[in-house]
Amino acid sequence: QKEVEQDPGPLSVPEGAIVSLNCTYSNSAFQYFMWYRQYSRKGPELLMYTYSSGNKEDGRFTAQVDKSSKYISLFIRDSQPSDSATYLCAMSAEGGATNKLIFGTGTLLAVQP
Amino acid sequence: DGGITQSPKYLFRKEGQNVTLSCEQNLNHDAMYWYRQDPGQGLRLIYYSQIVNDFQKGDIAEGYSVSREKKESFPLTVTSAQKNPTAFYLCASSSGQGNTIYFGEGSWLTVV
C-alpha cells in the first residue's frame, strides 16, 4: 500500500462547478499538508499549505484536513477553464523536513467551458 | 525575478551517453532537490543538498550524480548506468524552514 493515495482521474467538470480533489494517507504521523498545481509540461506550483487538522481558505480554494480519517481535500469553487491542470497533494511528518515530503500521483482536472 | 531556472527544457540522449541537467536558483535557498516524475508514479526524490559541498541520496539515486559547489547551482548528471532515464526531471529548492519547496519548470529527457 502506498503511503499516499490519490485518484488519478481524469476529472471533467463544467465551468462554474465545485470541484473536490482528495488524498488519503496511511501514516498517522503526517501533520504538514500541501497542494500543488501543475500545468501540462510545467513545474508544480504551491497552492495551499496547512498544518494539522482544519480548514484553510484562499480565494476560490479551500484546503481541508481530517486527521482522524487520514483524508485531505482541496475544494475549488466556481471552477474556471484556467484551473485545468494536475493537482498533487504532498505531506510530511516533520517540520522543516522537506527532503521527506511524500507526494501523491496527482489528479488530472479538466474544466470544460 | 526570483526563481529556479532549469536548462535545457528538452534534451535527447543516445544510449550510453551521460547528460547533465542544469539547475540555478536566485532565491538564496540553502536546500536544493532533484525529483523525477513519471506517469502514474508521482514525484520521486533522486538527490538533495541542504548545504554547499554536501548532498544526500534520495529514494532513486542509482545511475545519477550531483554536485553542489555553489549555493545557487545544483546540476544533475544522468549517467549511462541509469537503466530507464527517459522522464521529466524537476529541480526544487527550499529555505529549510517550514515544509514548502518551490519547483523549476522541468527538463524533459528522452533517450533515443
- pLDDT at residue A98, rounded to an integer: 67
Specify the pairing of strand B19-25 against strand B31-38: unpaired
Q: Which residues of B touch A88 (CB under 8 A)?
A: 42-43
- pLDDT at residue A97, rounded to an integer: 62
Q: For chain A, say whether B97 makes contact (Cβ under 8 Å).
A: yes
Chain A residue at shortest CA distance from B94: A98
- Please give the grid coordinates belonging to residue A22: 482528495
* Confidence band of B98 (pLDDT split at 50, 70, 90): low
Residues A108/A9, Cβ–Cβ less than 8 Å: yes
Cβ distance of B48 and A99 shorter than 8 Å: yes
Which of A18, A54, A22 minimizes the C-alpha distance to A35?
Answer: A22
Q: Summarize pLDDT for A49-108 with one digit per residue, the tens.
A: 998 888 999 999 999 999 999 999 999 999 999 999 999 999 988 776 666 789 999 999
- pLDDT at residue B54, rounded to an integer: 94
- Please give the grid coordinates belonging to residue B25: 536558483
Q: Please state the length of chain A.
A: 113
The answer on pLDDT for B112 being more than 70 is: yes
Tell me, what amino acid is at B1? D
